[in-house]
Structure formats: C-alpha cells, structure tokens
Structure 1
Amino acid sequence: MAAADTTNIEPIRAEHVESFHRALDAVSRERKYLSFLEAPPLDAVRAFVLDMIENNHPQFVAVADGEVAGWCDIRRQDRATRAHCGTLGIGILPAYRDKGLGAQLMRRALDSARQCGLHRVELSVHADNARAIALYEKIGFVHEGRARDAVLIHGRYIDSLNMAIILGN
C-alpha cells in the first residue's frame, strides 16, 4: 500500500489530464464525497485543467507510480466583487487515504493561493464526511453554515457544510 511519502506533490500539467480524469472518476463513482456521480467527459476535464493552468489557479496532484492518486484545486471566483475568493476541491483515491496526503495537498494549494493574492478560500463538504471535516478544521477552516438536504445520493438527502479559511499575507 502506498504511503504519502512515496508520492510526489506537484502542480498539475497537461500530461496528468488522463490520469487525473481516472482518479476523478474513481472518487466520483464512490458516490459519497463529490458532487459528481461520475467524472465529466475527458474533453471537459482537459478543458478544466488547461484553464486552471492558463489562469494560474492553484491545482496540485499527488503522483504515485506515474498515476494521479489525489488532487487539490482552488478556483478563483470570476466576479469582480468575489475575485479575492477561491473555491477548493479535493479528492484522494481510497488506497491513499489516511496517510496525510490530503493535508499535504491542501497546504501546497493554500500556499499557492496566498501567493496568487487570494484572501479567502471556501469549500462545501457533506455533513456526514467526518474524516474530511476533521482535516479541514485541522488546516484552519471554520464552519460558516449548513445547507439542509443540499445533496441527494441514493435516495438520501445529506446536509452540506460551508467552511472557509482566511489566508494571512
């Protein structure tokens, strides 16, 4: 079983797209953590990644044995009044969880967001995802609200928690 210290954390590059797509699809199909039930088509994922790169949005991947094992991205809001804010997304393949990889990815992405001039980073998390909530709290995210019955998976409504961190300069 791979450990976080056998992976490389690096900025995403175009050559990661197919592996990132596979990882996104695997985590999406768990139908527990992401808003996707499956990954978008490969062309849409490629366009997303290339846009992130072109616009200097922080996006890091954990690469193990040449494959993406996890990712963390922060997309800057596009409205002028919200351009100081970013939205965080993260996912880790099951075999790489509980090894500190999520924290490493988040710290790299948040450091990059700070360097890019972001002031605030937001995320939403399913209220039943205790492991992720504990990680976000450890990193410094605070609870800002609850959206009741915000997610419907397998016929079950799940609340979504809104969390954010203010980045120091």
Structure 2
Amino acid sequence: MVVVRPIREDDIEGFRAAVDRVAREKRFLARIEGPSFEQASRFILGNLASGNPQFVADADGFVVGWCDVIRQDHLPIYAHSGTLGMGLVPEWRGKGVGRRLIEAAVAAAFTAGMTRVQLTVRADNEAAIMLYRRIGFADEGYHRGTDRIDGITYDTRSMALLA
C-alpha cells in the first residue's frame, strides 16, 4: 500500500534515492542523476521552511515518488505561481500514485495562495502529458530542442493549471 503524505525531514535520503533512480532513466527529469545528500537536504529543508508543498509516496517506509510545487517568488509579479516537479519509480507507475501525488501538491499550492501551477514535460512523454490533461492542466506551448541527453535533442511542452 502507498500513502501520499507531506514530506518530512527524515525522508531526505529516501527522496534523494528516488530522484536518483528516476533521473538515471534519462527519460523524465531535467537531470541525469540524483542530487547529493546535501543538495537534497537544502531543497527539502528550504521547502519546509518556505511552505512550498512537497509530498512523497511512501510504500512501507520507502519513498517511491514525490511531487512538489515551488513558488516562483523571485519577482513579486510571479509570486502567485509555482512550478510542479514530480517523479515516480518504475514499478509504481500506472497505478494511480502519480495522480494522487499531483492532486495533493496542487491542492496544497492553491490552499497556500498560489493561483497558477505550471510545468514542463518532455514532448515524448505521452503518459505524463495525458495524466496532466486528465487532472486539468492545459497545453501552453511547445519548445523545440530544449533537452540534450547523450547527444539526442528532445522537445518539451509547457502546461499550466489555474485555480
């Protein structure tokens, strides 16, 4: 059984390991390896301190997925919006866990006063695009040649959901 819950400080290593596992697939994230423990610590502790919604999928004590919405407050005109990031280890994909993670993070973002949640997704990740659309995200743009992994260039889509 998987429980979707807010992240805790004691999830840092599990989060780091899950990100690393998904990143090494070189298919879904804007990175090809996970963060160091120190980088993951800074990220999670920063989100906890600033109130950025961050959730994990906990399968019997193991982090098997995550979803966060990072407020874009670097300029006041963007403070109402956040950027969604998420990932799920392979054996938990297609079981509704990703949807539960996204819905929890988006609901928390809207409760925290954000009115826009945006994301980018690789254009060839049709399963994720369809999931985002089912949740209510709308296509906003297509970006050519944005990602390059192992010498191959990929396009991305931008999508957003408004409160």
Q: TM-score range by the shorter chain?
A: over 0.9
Q: Unpaired segments of 5 or more residues in structure 1?
A: 1-5
Aligned to 1:10: 5
Aligned to 1:58: 53
Between the aligned partners of 1:53 and 1:129, the Cα distance in structure 2 is 30
Aligned to 2:67: 72
Aligned to 2:79: 83
Aligned to 2:141: 145
Residue 142 of structure 1: how far off its partner (Å): 0.5
Name which of 26, 29, 33 aligns with 2:21: 26
1:45-78: CA deviation from partner (whole Å, max 9, x where unpaired) = 1000000011110000000021101000000002
**Secondary structure at 2:20 match in 1:** helix
Aligned to 2:126: 130
Between the aligned partners of 1:151 and 1:83, the Cα distance in structure 2 is 26
Name which of 128, 147, 154 aligns with 1:158: 154
| Residue 26 of structure 2 is aligned to residue 47 of structure 1 | no
Between the aligned partners of 2:36 and 2:104, the Cα distance in structure 1 is 27
One-letter identity of the residue aligned with 1:73: D
One-letter identity of the residue aligned with 1:14: E
| Residue 93 of structure 2 is aligned to residue 100 of structure 1 | no
Aligned to 1:3: none
**Secondary structure at 1:131 match in 2:** helix
Find runs of 4+ consecutive structure 1 residues off by over 3 angstroms. Answer: none
Between the aligned partners of 1:166 and 1:34, the Cα distance in structure 2 is 23
Q: Unpaired segments of 5 or more residues in structure 2?
A: none
Residue 154 of structure 1: how far off its partner (Å): 2.0
Q: Percent of pairs identical after alignment?
A: 43
One-letter identity of the residue aligned with 1:137: R
Between the aligned partners of 1:20 and 1:40, the Cα distance in structure 2 is 9
